[in-house]
Amino acid sequence: MKNITIVVPDCELNLNSVAGAWEILSRANDYWQKIGNRPKLDILIAGFVKESVISKGYFTVHPTDIRTIKKTDLLIIPSIFGDYKETIKKNEALIDWIGEQYKNGAEIASMCSGAFLLAATGLLEGKTCSTHWNSTEAFREMYPNVKVLQDKIITDENGIYTNGGGYSFLNLMLYLVEKLFDRSVAIFCSKIFQIDIERTTQSQFSIFHIQKGHGDEVITEAQKYIEENIDEKISFEKLASQLAISRRNFDRRFIKATGNTPVEYLQRVKVEAAKKELEKGRKSIYEIMNDVGYNDDKAFREVFKKVTGLSPLDYKSKYSKERVAV
């Protein structure tokens, strides 16, 4: 029998990630018994708080007192909302408890922004993780020694599991079900809950946010130039010269300010513009390719797929307004 603990932090949290984890694991455990096995999991929802009020008071969670749990085999951290730094301050006891459990042999899984609490334990130092694509900048600022794999749905390293944004926690749960039981039980759960068991990336869902709060006026000018001239072939050597800065220093400052090389930034801006046009569904892929400065169909498709995980045609088929209307 394995002890599973879904922790309840003292903060606004995602009810669905708590209830969803409990429901999928419980259903897997029930199915395991139905096919002739002894129950495999003892699942608890626990925390230092006596009650957690969620979604403006519409729901409440009444967790077990976590101090009564001496040992757990797997603990799950749900997705959290609000001020991450304030949440960490309020949950120091829980963070210490999580760290102690890992030292005692427990595995840990964090969902979406639950990675902020997990990282506060220090257990992610020098390791990789995933979190919601919309939170990666804040996460990198708070935890510069953790490598965020922004496109990954699931990471698995040394008994620590993380997942990307939103409802991708469902994919993490299937991954854990397969580890706790076997592939057949994971497939059963994927069919019962209608979850795509093979989904591995969140790239197609991400929106490229232009990073301009860095305070480097020279790089801001460079960004403005790139965004206003995406249909042209940009020479960064020439752009650096126009800004009275060496190319080497330009690259260094650009990376520091935006987190991307100039070439990566240009590609992301082009792809974001292409995505918006593909979503409208009015233009052909060839027209859009030319609008964002590509004249090589193969190069455009390769860059687009690298950034989004989908080909331009697949992206248009999936997200265009015409498709939604149908």
pTM above 0.75, yes or no: no
Boundaries of domain holding 163: 2-205
Tell me the pLDDT band of 211, cut-offs 50, 70 and 90: low
> Looking at the structure, do residues 98 and 230 belong to the same domain, yes or no?
no
Tell me the pLDDT band of 183, cut-offs 50, 70 and 90: confident
110 falls within a domain: yes
Q: What percent of the chain has pLDDT over 70?
A: 93
Report the C-alpha gap between 48 and 4 in whole angstroms.
16
15 falls within a domain: yes
Residue 196 has pLDDT above 80, yes or no: no
Number of domains observed in the structure of the chain: 2
Between 120 and 326, the higher pLDDT residue: 120
Report the C-alpha gap between 232 and 292 in whole angstroms.
8
Least confident span in 91-95, 100-104, 132-136, 220-224: 132-136
253 falls within a domain: yes
Tell me the pLDDT band of 56, cut-offs 50, 70 and 90: confident
210 falls within a domain: no
Residue 13 has pLDDT above 60, yes or no: yes
Averaged over 66-93, what is the pLDDT? 94
Report the C-alpha gap between 274 and 289 in whole angstroms.
7
Q: Pick from 97, 128, 85, 119: which is nearest to 8 by CA? A: 97
- Residue that terminates a domain, selected from 205, 226, 254: 205
Averaged over 176-201, what is the pLDDT? 83
Residue 6: which residues within 8 A CB-CB, separation 6 or more?
18, 21, 22, 43, 44, 45, 46, 75, 76, 78
Report the C-alpha gap between 239 and 83 in whole angstroms.
39
211 falls within a domain: no
Helix (H) / strand (E) element for 100: namely: helix 92-103
The per-residue pLDDT for 232 is 86
Average pLDDT, the chain: 88
Residue 200 has pLDDT above 60, yes or no: no
> Looking at the structure, do residues 103 and 10 belong to the same domain, yes or no?
yes
> Side chain identity at 229, as an amino acid letter?
N
> Looking at the structure, do residues 225 and 317 belong to the same domain, yes or no?
yes
Residue 324 has pLDDT above 70, yes or no: no
103: which 2 tokens? 């030292």
Between 280 and 218, the higher pLDDT residue: 218
Report the greatest alpha carbon distance in the chain: 74
Which residue(s) pair with 110 in the sheet?
Answer: 77, 162
Averaged over 281-297, what is the pLDDT? 90
Helix-then-strand count for the chain, H and E: 15, 11
The per-residue pLDDT for 88 is 95
Is beta strand 41-47 parallel, antiparallel or unpaired with respect to 128-129? unpaired
Report the C-alpha gap between 163 and 148 in whole angstroms.
11
Q: Pick from 99, 72, 101: which is nearest to 88 by CA? A: 99
CATH of the domain at 35: 3.40.50.880
> Looking at the structure, do residues 237 and 148 belong to the same domain, yes or no?
no
